[in-house]
Amino acid sequence: MGEVAVMHSEPLQFECNDMKLIKEKDVYNLPLPERGYMEYGCQHYRRRCRIRAPCCNEIFDCRHCHNEAKNSINIDQKHRHDIPRHQVKQVICSLCGTEQEVQQNCTNCGVCMGKYFCETCKLFDDDVSKQQYHCSGCGICRTGGCENFFHCYKCGCCYSTLLKNSHPCVEGAMHHDCPVCFEYLFESVTDVTVLLCGHTIHKSCLNEMREHFQYACPLCSKSVCDMSKVWEKIDLEIAATPMPEPYLNKMVWILCNDCGENSHVQFHLVAQKCLNCKSYNTRQTRG
C-alpha cells in the first residue's frame, strides 16, 4: 500500500508544478495592455495608475484616498481640502512608474491603466462590473449602467428609471449634505434614496433612523413611509387611555407635518390627529 501511495503522490506533485508554470507563462504571454489587470489600486478602485493631486502636488491612489487623507482630524483645519477632480493633469503608471499626462494607456510600457476610463473625470477603474457611465447632466461618472438611470434636470441628479414618472421633484435635491451624517450627497459613493417628500438621504442613514424609531424626514418632518398601520395602533391606544377630568374639554390647534393643514382638535397626551389626512405626525401650535 505504501508503494501505491508514493506512485500516486509524485505525478500529482508534477501536475501541480506544471500548472504553476503554465499560469506563469500565461501572465508573461498576456498582451501588454492586460498586464496587472485587477492587481493594483486601493479600497475604492482597482486601477493601474496613481494620480498627482494638482492642489497639493502629492501622489495618491485616487481622489477618495486624497480627500480622506487631507480632511483627516489630524490635519490643520485651514489646510483641509478636496481634490478638484477635473483638474488632474498627471498620472503615474503602477507597473513601470512613468509619470505622464492623463490617458488610458501608459506611454512607456503600454499597459491599460483602467478598463473604464473617463477623460472628463480623470477616472480609471478596472472593475467594469460597476457599469460605470459618464452623465453629462451631472458632470461626473456614475455607476449602475446608463440604461438604468435618467437625469432629472430639476433635481440636478440621476435617479433610477423606476422613479422617472413618480419621484417628487425638489430643485437641487442631491446638492446638499445628508441630513444625518452630513456627507455631500451629490458626490457620495454610498447608496442614496429619495424620500416621499422628495428630499434625499443615504440609504444606510435612513435604515439607522428606522432602527431608532425615527420615521420623519429630518429636513421637513414629513413621514418617510406609509404610517397608516401605526396611526391605527395610536387610535386604539387613545381609545384605551381616557383623559383626566381637567383635560376632557381642552382644545388645541395643531399643524400636520404631512399635509400642512391646521386643525382645531381635542387635546390628548398620547397624540393629536390631523382632521384632514388622519395623520398623527402633528405638532401643537397653540392652546
Alpha-carbon distance of 217 to 224, in angstroms, equals 6
Alpha-carbon distance of 9 to 147, in angstroms, equals 54
pLDDT at 1 over 50: no
**Quick one: 124 and 51 in the same domain?**
yes
Residue 244, judged by CB atoms within 10 A of its CB (0-12, 13-18, 19+), counts as exposed
**Quick one: 48 and 98 in the same domain?**
yes
pLDDT digits (tens, 9 = 90+) for 224-271: 999 999 999 999 999 999 999 888 889 999 999 999 999 999 999 999
Least confident of 71-75, 103-107, 109-113: 71-75
Does residue 115 form part of some domain?
Answer: yes
Q: What is the pTM of this model?
A: 0.70
pLDDT digits (tens, 9 = 90+) for 56-74: 999 999 999 999 999 999 9
Does residue 53 form part of some domain?
Answer: yes
**Quick one: 270 and 232 in the same domain?**
yes
Does residue 282 form part of some domain?
Answer: yes
Domain boundary pick from 184, 212, 240 = 212
Alpha-carbon distance of 131 to 154, in angstroms, equals 25
Q: How many CB atoms lie within 10 A of CB 132?
A: 21
**Per-residue pLDDT at 29:** 60
User: 49 with 114: CB under 8 angstroms?
Assistant: yes
Does residue 79 form part of some domain?
Answer: no
**Quick one: 46 and 126 in the same domain?**
yes
pLDDT band at 32 (very low <50, low <70, confident <90, very high): confident
pLDDT at 28 over 60: no
pLDDT digits (tens, 9 = 90+) for 79-89: 999 999 999 99
Domain that holds residue 248: 227-286
**Per-residue pLDDT at 139:** 93
Total domains present in the chain: 3
Does residue 201 form part of some domain?
Answer: yes
